[in-house]
Amino acid sequence: MNKKGKRKINVCVQSVAFVLGCCLCFTLTAVYGQSDTEQPETFSAKTFLPAASLSKTLRQSAEKASPSVVHIQVSHRRSVSPGRSGRAVIMQVEESGSGIAADIAGKTVILTNRHVVAGNDADSIQILTKDRYILKVLNVTENEDFDIAVIDVSGKLPPPVVFGNSDELAAGGIILVLGSPFGLERSLSLGIISAVGRRSIPGNGAATPRIGFFQIDAAVNPGSSGGPMLNLDGEVVGLSTAIATQGGGNEGVAFVMPIKTVLRIAEQLVKTGSVVKAYIGCGFDASFSMDDRRRLGIDRFIGSRLKTVEPGGPAGTAGLKTGDVILAFNNVEIEEDSHIVLLVAESETGKPIPLKINRNGQTLDITLTPATQLSR
């Protein structure tokens, strides 16, 4: 290449470099909003629109539900370890929880967890509203299997909550929790749904596989039980029920009962004073291993094997036998024993349900009709 050609290329390169330099300078000035002599703008959450918008949404959601949330104080006597005299000491103990005002079957009642008020009479339960009114407790109707209590009250009733659709919730969704942790009334915490459909709570004997809990990471502590979980519209989508903890406090693993389940139980308690549930009359084999599954041609850890079948019960009438493996219940694949217990609990009694089973390595289709059983 001759010298003239080289000069033209050098001029072109220098021109491009100059233009790119100008563009970079312009871009940096536009992004940071300053030149060498200008001062940086002070950051403010009010000018950061996404944060300001979310903050406003959270505040409005809490304000919408807060008037319907009540503080529950329970006072009772408890026998503690013997003192120096060798005799047990009886102490007056006060414990707190939360609840919500709800319109159930045309009647305003207070909903909470059974364990908040269990074993206490009406006179030992005090309910305080946001406006500082004390409600008179008339009666408590409770269900142990589902850990739900309905409290009949009189006085200056708070407005009932607005319920949302708990079926719409999924892992990753933002939620709010209101409650009275350690007696601190109307405390608000923020978190996300960590998982859905949890059927057991580590270290909690009160957990029941009849409920598919939401697992959340919001701060839930003793005293939060019975308080509402809210969506971003301020609608109640669950009741805080339990925590998994080694130290007795919040460790970021809490469990919330879906409001759909709460309402199903509460409506029965209000209308009849009791709860009925579906049952199929069989027991499951907890020792059913992966090796057992492979011998039956099941190559994944699915299904529940029947250990017992009640003669004349729904399962026996449908033709199920000991050793059968239920692979699907109402077209839902069974993961393990607690999964089918939950599906049965959510079933409608008297309605035929299709089952897919494995019997000695062969797949069969069977129809079963759950019967009605009185819940505790």
Q: What residues act catalytically?
A: 115, 147, 225
**Cβ–Cβ under 8 Å, residues 236 and 166:** no
